[in-house]
Amino acid sequence: MKPTRRPKKKSVKIDAKGLRNPRLPSSSSCMEDFRKDFQEQNPDVKSMRDIGKACGEKWKTMTYEDKVKYYDIAMEKRAEFDKAMADYIKKRENGENEEIEDDSEFDE
């Protein structure tokens, strides 16, 4: 009988001063939207490899105007990350021992 595996806990990086390091946001907003639509249209395809290839093909055929939506989302997420990182660095340099808010989307 094989021993059952326990699900791994996500490791959260905490530095020596007890602060959480902000995580870089996902850059695949297009993939998230496309994957939902693709899986509804093709319920038999389960492989992320095939879904990724189909998404890549769609991205290549999209016009610049269609891609702008996803560039804007990525820029907003990056700006939020940069702000969180600046706050983290400031707290770390000041020696504050408070964790960053738990409801931040970068802690996922």
Identify the structural domains of the chain with CATH numbers, from first to last.
Answer: 29-95 (1.10.30.10)
Indicate if the alpha-carbon torsion angle 20, 21, 24, 26 is positive or negative.
Answer: negative
> Mind listing the pLDDT tens digit for each residue in 4-14?
676 665 555 55
Per-residue confidence (pLDDT) for residue 100, from 0 to 100:
46
> Is the per-residue pLDDT at 108 higher than 80?
no
Higher pLDDT, 86 or 27: 86
Beta strands, E only, 1-108: none
> Is the per-residue pLDDT at 23 higher than 80?
no
Give which of 56, 7, 4, 1 is closest to 30, Cα–Cα. 56
Per-residue confidence (pLDDT) for residue 10, from 0 to 100:
57
> Mind listing the pLDDT tens digit for each residue in 24-64?
777 677 778 888 888 889 888 888 888 889 888 988 999 99
